Structure 1
Amino acid sequence: MSASQPTVGLVGLGAMGLGMAQSLRRAGHAPHVFDLRREVAQDFARDGGTACETLAELGARCDVVVSVVVNAAQTESVLFGDDGVAATMRPGSLFVMCSTVDPNWSVALESRLAKQGILYLDAPISGGAAKAASGQITMMTAGTPEAYTRAGGVLDAMAAKVYRLGDKAGAGSKVKIINQLLAGVHIAAAAEAMALGLREGVDPAALYEVITHSAGNSWMFENRMAHVLAGDYTPLSAVDIFVKDLGLVLDVARASKFPLPLSSTAHQMFMQASTAGFAREDDSAVIKIFPGITLP
């Protein structure tokens, strides 16, 4: 076991986690993986690495455990559930938390794990499935120097940009929350703009072409309105992700009585889309809340 090449485990082989595990393998690691869908873990391990039957087994075998699950509740389950990794991880090993969570929860988790001798990195991620698969995601990290030392080259194997934002947990999650504020507002604004174009009878493909070469463009308009033009709402990131994430944004701001008028409106738009039956569709389906338009 060396600091540069620790034994790595990754929990959660979803859209992001699978690509991150592939990036680890490409970088020369032989990752231990766990997913509730056993066949997904076994499929991954056929090309290298090990599919663990239980979380406890993964925790016992690994120096670094990377958790890529949906939220704080799932992270709690990974760590402290009946079959959690916290019970089997060795003192001095590292838990890397990649979910979008309340920063205060992340701060508290660092101290909970420290009592068991487990190091912790607050390390939310951004970039999407394609960037995860090519090792090009962004990681917004915060943690102790010891945690970074234990991580060795693991973070750089998964990410093109690893930002070190503080020497204790919290700052990574705060920056991620602010990123999600912008992502959610930009998707909602993009949907509103495209909906107005459709209402006014503008050719949607022409509108998309012009906007993506004009000052009004955003990364989210370019990426998500392509889904609308294709009429493909296969969830790469679902409507309910932004119900959750913009909810976290508003929770953080509410605690310090900070007004977020655009975030509040975007959150209501995603809630409306979710309640209307589009919860599990791609987040671009927020455009479906607008009346009186015919979508491509």
Structure 2
Amino acid sequence: MVDKNKPTPDKPQERRGGWLSRFAPGVRKIVSRRDTPDNLWVKDPDSGEMLYRPDLETALWVTPSGRHMRINAPQRLGYTFDGSAYEPIDTPDVPEDPLKFSDGKPYRERLAQARKAAGRKDTMAIGYGHVGGTAAVVIVQDFSFMGGSLGMAAGEAFVKAAREAIARGVPLVCFTAAGGARMQEGALSLMQMARTTLAIQELKRAQLPYVVVLTDPTTGGVTASYAMLGDIHLAEPGALIGFAGPRVIETTIREKLPPGFQRAEYLQEKGMVDRVVSRADLPATLGTLLSILMGGIRRAA
């Protein structure tokens, strides 16, 4: 006896859409996976709770538990400037892979992958606009681009931002986020610590404010240079700030570190950070500080 429901070469089994499409032919198109983004839900790294992405975006990527999640450079610039309006400033080009470095994969390939993923040339992004009504140049370090590592492109961008601020006669605000120097550029990356320090001295000679906002994480050579040379240092809640990481320190000294060691709140208590400010309050806080530092003379019309 032949089973009429059994699929045969002449009669393939109907699988497309299943029973639901037979009863409601248009439903499959409505609930297609193409209409449901894979990243619609984001896991809270603290509680493990699944958070609805649009709600998280509305909250500026701050979770209900208070975790300030890492954000990219365009988001940071948009959150900082009044009305999210600013003039992008191009970052300079630098020689690529001068050392012909490979750590199992050529540096050029790593750069190409990072650029494709981030949609930018390197870790730094610069914008000019108004923050709380005061004109300013803002430079942002994007941790999503190779861990925000400090290399020639980042150093050159910082120098460009400082000189742009001097040319326009406005303050410079720097949002830091880095895992350290970019090892693929060797000593050339370490030289950027000195170059950025000299750029800050140019700002000081021009009597223009330099304000730093430390975000998670700010470590390595960035902490040892332009991240700690501001006139005022703000930090986002919970940001990891230091030179070497806690695990490296504990392994070296063979002692347990105090609770919250190297976090923004701990550093504020010890005097290394002037104030810990939530992301939602940063634009207003920066606007007030910049207005005071500039004597209130460069306000938006």
- The two structures have a TM-score, normalised by structure 2, of 0.26
Larger radius of gyration: 2
